[in-house]
Each structure stands twice: as C-alpha cells, then as structure tokens.
Structure 1
Amino acid sequence: LVKGNAYIDSIVSASADTTPSKDLTPLQVAQQLHAFFHQSALALKRQFGISHADARAVVAACPECARVMPIQNMGVNPRGLQSRSLWQSDVTEFAPFGVLRYIHVTVDTCSKAIWATPM
C-alpha cells in the first residue's frame, strides 16, 4: 500500500508542475499555462500582458479548446432604428421555476424593452 501511494504521488506531482521557467517570454508562459488551465484569450491577455491577437492565437492552437470553445468574432449588436423593428430572443433555464423552468426572453433593441415568458 505504501509503495502504491508513493508511486501515485510521484505521478501526480510530476504532472501537476505548472511553475513556468524564468527564461521564458510572457507568450511562452501563457502557452504553457493555457495547456494546463485552458484560460480564455481575455484572461491570458490580462494575466500575462500579451496582445489580444497573441492570446487568441494561443487559444486557437489548443486542440482541447478547439473541440469545446469556438472563437467568436467581436461584433456589435444591431440596434433598431425605431421601436419594434428589430428584436433579439433567447431561451434560458431557471430550475427553481420547476415545470416552467425555461424562460423565453425577447428584447426590443431600440427601446431595450424586455419581454420574458415562462415555457
């Protein structure tokens, strides 16, 4: 039992070493730590002071994140020029509502009026 525990401890502590080397650039450190923690591009940019393009490149190069998190283009939500001309809708889940736990939310982009109905 003691030998087994020592063996498992050596494997776990070897794989959990996330301390970056002192002679690496901030981009290389970001790549190393992203491979372990899988932070977002914005988190990498803030934590390591790298450019947004470099941070997005690190996330895009990660095979694990490519399967899970598509990189979305930064954009602007359109705004209607007059009331009731352009609407945005979404459905979300709120479990405490029980049977009617899904909520359909619609927003008028001009007036910012919100209409929410349980489903």
Structure 2
Amino acid sequence: MSRIFPPLREINIYMFRRNPLKNGIVVYTDGSKTGIGAYVANGKVVSKQYNENSPQVVECLVVLEVLKIFLEPLNIVSDSCYVVNAVNLLEVAGVIKPSSRVANIFQQIQLVLLSRRFPVYITHVRAHSGLPGPMALGNDLADKATKVVAAALSSPVEAARNFHNNFHVTAETLRSRFSLTRKEARDIVTQCQSCCEFLPVPHVGINPRGIRPLQVWQMDVTHVSSFGKLQYLHVSIDTC
C-alpha cells in the first residue's frame, strides 16, 4: 500500500492559526461608541472616525482595515470577545448574506480572509486590566487614542453630557467645568433620566394650598398707614 499511496503530507489551507505567529506583526485594535476606531502597530497609533455608534461594530471595521493594510503574517489583539469570536468563525462559515450592516462588514472580512496569502492570528486581551506587559500596553494605547480623538471632535455640550452621564454632577459644576451657559447646563441635568426624579417640582402658577388647618400657610406683607412707622405688617393666613 505504501508504494501505491505515498505518505500524505498535511497542508494547512486555513489562514487562521491557533498560536501566535512568531514572525508576524502585532496590531492592537479598539473601538468606541463615539464612532472612533484605532489600531496600534509598531508603536504607531492610527485613529479613524466611522459612522457607527456601537463599539463592537466599530472594532469590526478596524479589524477589516487592518486585514487590508497588513498583508504579511499578522497577529491581531482585541479587547472585544465579540469581535474575536466572530472573526475566528468567518473563515469556515458559509456564504454570508448582507442582510444588515454588521453582516455586510462580516462578509467583507470573510472575502479579505479568503484572498490572503499569509496567515492571521487573533486573540482577546482584557481591557483596562492595568497589568504589566506589551499586550496590556498596546491595548491601552489604542483605547486612549479613541478617547483623545473623541474629546477633540466633540462639542463642549456633548462633552458635558457624557461627563454628566458618568458622574451625575450638578448644573453648576457643568457650567464651571465646560464653560456652558446656565440654560445649557440645566438642560443636560433635566434631560437625565437618573436625575430628573430628584429635581424640585416646578410651580404650576398658583400658590400652594393647605389640606388641613395649620399645615400650610401663606405669608405676605401688607400696609396699615395708621400705624405710622410700623405700617408694614407681616401677615400669615391659613389657606385651608
């Protein structure tokens, strides 16, 4: 049998590898809900604005761009489990129909993978871990790049709204920190779903009225001319 059938040699036709590529470039990717995507390669940070508001979708677009730019053996490090798991399955998945925005992106990634000549390795790294090492450092650089660009592109009102959504500060704090007008700062606080229940109830145009004797009183100042210098009287009236 061995003379008729020569020994078979395993040929790896898949682009994805299970282990890191020793001779491959390492690229760190990140995406944010502001639509800013970034990647870090050889210490160089590249940021780009996308017309998306989902961090996962933005990071998928960043991975797609990285696959198009780096044609050599490639190691991709992402802090999104969603992106890593999805991209790992695309090479062996069936034909993807572009039925949605995400499906269209996955289809493009799949086509790029099938046309590659050199292998790819993609792995997940925990975000904001604060641990030492090149992977955490590279991910942190990509993460900071998305925040810096977003801060530069956002208006003071938008920056104040994002700050309030995180810390729920008062309107006065927003005014002093972001140089807003009084109305802009108050609008941000009143539109916050978490803070609106603690705001004072606005007056409806009439004086409050008591429902029981001695419970709610109205006060005013009246004039009695015959009292001379003591003509200004402070009057309290039970409104019940």
- What TM bracket, shorter-length normalisation? 0.3 to 0.5
Larger radius of gyration between Structure 1 and Structure 2? 2
TM-score by length of 1: 0.45
Q: Which has the higher helix share?
A: 1
TM-score by length of 2: 0.25
- Choose between structure 1 and 2 for higher RCO, CA contacts under 8 A separated by at least 6 residues: 2
